[in-house]
Chain A
Amino acid sequence: MTTVPMSGPSGAAAADLTGRSDLQRQRLRAAWMFLAPMLIALAIVAGWPLVRTIYFSFTNASLNNLSGAEWIGFDNYLQIRTLSSGRVLYRGLLADPAWWAAVWNTIRFAVLSVAFETVFGMIVALVLNANFRGRALVRAAILIPWAIPTIVSAKMWQWMLNDQFGIINEIALNLGLISQKIAWTASPDTAMIAVLIVDVWKTTPFMALLILAGLQMIPGDIYEAAKIDGVHPIKVFWKVTLPLVRPALMVAVIFRMLDALRIFDLIYVLTPNNAQTKTMSVLARENLFDFDKFAYGSAASTMLFLIIAVITIVYVVVGRVNFEGGR
Chain B
Amino acid sequence: MKLRKKLLALTALFALGAGSAHAADLSMVLGDTGTGAQFLREVLDKYEKDTGVKVNIVTMPSSTTDQFGQYRLWLAAGNSDIDLYQTDVIWAPQLADQFVDLTAAAKDVVGQHFPSIIESQTVNGKLVALPLFTDAPALYYRKDLLDKYGKQPPKTWDELAATAKEVQDKEREAGQKDLWGFVWQGNAYEGLTCDALEWVKSSGGGQIIEADGSISINNPNAAAAIERAKSWVGTISPPGVLAYQEEESRGVWQTGNAVFMRNWPYAYALGNGEDSSVKGKFEVTTLPFAGDGNQPAATLGGWNVAVSKYSKQQDAAIKLAIYLASPEVQKWRAIEIANLPTIEALYDDADVAKAQPFMPAWKAVFQSAVPRPSAPTKTKYNEVSSKFWTAVHNTLSGNGTAAENLEILEADLEDLKGSGW
Are both chains from one complex? yes
Q: Are B178 and A164 in contact (CB under 8 A)?
A: yes
For the residues of A in contact with B, the DSSP-based class is loop
The answer to whether residues A271 and B243 also contact, given A64-B97, A181-B238, A292-B380 and a CB cut-off of 8 A, is: yes
Residues in A264-313 with C-beta less than 8 Å from chain B: 271-276, 285-286, 289-293
Interface size class of A (residues with CB under 8 A): 20 to 34
Q: Please give the distance in Å from A173's CB to the nearest CB on chain B.
A: 10
Bound complex: CA of A286 vs CA of B386, how far in Å? 10
Q: Chain B nearest CB: distance from A284 CB in Å?
A: 12
Assess whether B72 is in contact with A289, with CB atoms less than 8 Å apart.
Answer: yes
Q: Mark contacts of B37-67 with chain A using CB atoms, 8 A cut-off: 1 yes-contact digit, 0 otherwise.
A: 0000000000000000000000000000100
Q: In the assembly, what is the distance between CA of A187 and CA of B187, in Å?
A: 11
Contact with A64, one of B98, B188, B398 (Cβ below 8 angstroms): B98
Given A64-B98, A289-B72, are A186 and B251 neighbors across the interface (CB < 8 Å)? Answer: no
Chain B residues lying within 8 Å of A272, measured Cβ to Cβ, are: 187-189, 242-243, 393
The distance from the CB of A192 to the nearest CB of chain B, in whole angstroms, is: 13
Contact A164 B393 (CB under 8 A): no
Q: Which residue of A lies closest to B245 (CB)?
A: A272
Q: Is the Cβ of A274 less than 8 Å from the Cβ of B394?
A: yes
B72 A63 Cβ-Cβ under 8 A? yes
B73:A289 contact, CB within 8 angstroms: yes
The answer to whether B397 and A188 have CB atoms under 8 Å apart is: yes
Whole-angstrom distance between the Cβ of A90 and the nearest chain B Cβ: 11
Q: Which of B69, B255, B390, B415 contacts A274 (CB 8 A)?
A: B390
B27 within 8 A of A: no
B182 to chain A, nearest CB (A): 14
A292 pairs with B94, CB closer than 8 A: yes
Q: Which of A64-100 contact B (CB under 8 A)?
A: 64, 66, 91
Additional pairs, 20, CB under 8 Å, beyond known A63-B76, A64-B97, A274-B394: A63-B72, A64-B98, A162-B240, A162-B248, A163-B243, A183-B238, A183-B241, A186-B240, A187-B239, A187-B242, A188-B398, A272-B393, A273-B187, A274-B188, A289-B69, A289-B70, A289-B73, A290-B68, A291-B383, A292-B379
Give chain A's interface residues, CB within 8 Å of chain B: 62-64, 66, 91, 162-165, 181-188, 271-276, 285-286, 289-293
Where the two chains meet, the residues of B that have a C-beta atom closer than 8 Å to any C-beta of A are 65, 68-70, 72-73, 76, 94, 97-98, 178, 186-189, 238-244, 248, 251-252, 255, 257, 379-380, 382-383, 386, 390, 393-394, 397-399, 415
